Amino acid sequence: MARKDRPAKKQTAASRKPNGGDKPLRGAERSAYFARREAAKVLRTVLEGDARRRAVGSIKSLVYSPSIRNKRATFALVCETLKHLPVIKDVLRATNVLNSKWKRQEELLCVIAYDILFGKESSATGDAEKLLLSRKDKLRSALVHLLEKKRVKHIKELMPQCKISDMPKPRYVRVNTLKMDVESAILELTKQYAVDKDDMVPGLLKLPPSTDLHKHPLVLNGSIFMQGRASSMVAAALEPKPGWWVSLLSTEELIPSDVLDACSAPGNKTVHLAAIMKGKGKIIACELDKQRVKRLEATVRLAGATNVKVKHEDFLKLNPEEPHCSKIRAILLDPSCSGSGTAIDRLDHLLPSYAAVLDDTGNSDRLMKLAAFQKKALEHAFSFPAAERIVYSTCSIHQIENEDVVKSVLPLAASHGFQLAPVHPQWPRRGLPVLDGSQHLLRTDLVEDGEGFFIALFVRKADKRPEGYAERETCERYRSKRFLRKKMDFVNYFFNNRFRMLLYPQFRFKKQR
Positions marked active-site: 395
Strands 454-460 and 389-394: antiparallel
H or E stretch covering 458: strand 454-460
CA distance 49 to 46: 5
Radius of gyration of the chain (CA): 30
Q: Is 267 annotated as a binding residue?
A: yes
Q: Is 497 annotated as a binding residue?
A: no
Q: Is 181 annotated as a binding residue?
A: no
Q: Is 287 annotated as a binding residue?
A: yes
Q: Is 166 annotated as a binding residue?
A: no
The four Cα atoms 207, 265, 377, 445 give a dihedral, to 10 degrees, of 20
Q: Is 66 annotated as a binding residue?
A: no
Residues 6+ apart with CB under 8 A from 20: none
H or E stretch covering 322: none
Q: What are phi and psi of 331, to 5 degrees?
A: -130, 130
- Candidates 222, 193, 225, 196; CA nearest to 210 is 193
- Candidates 197, 91, 100, 104; CA nearest to 135 is 91
H or E stretch covering 389: strand 389-394
CA distance 345 to 337: 16
Instruction: Identify whether the C-beta of residue 94 lies closer than 8 Å to the C-beta of residue 144.
Output: no
Q: Is 269 annotated as a binding residue?
A: yes
SS3 content of the chain, % helix, strand, coil (to 5): 45, 15, 40
CA distance 341 to 396: 4
CA distance 119 to 201: 43
Q: Is 79 annotated as a binding residue?
A: no
Instruction: Identify whether the C-beta of residue 203 lies closer than 8 Å to the C-beta of residue 237.
Output: no
Residues 6+ apart with CB under 8 A from 63: 42, 71, 74, 75, 78
Q: Is 264 annotated as a binding residue?
A: yes
| Cis? peptide before 266, omega within 30° of 0 | yes
Question: Which residues line the annotated binding site for S-adenosyl-L-methionine?
Answer: 263-269, 287, 314, 334
Question: Which residues line the annotated binding site?
Answer: 263-269, 287, 314, 334
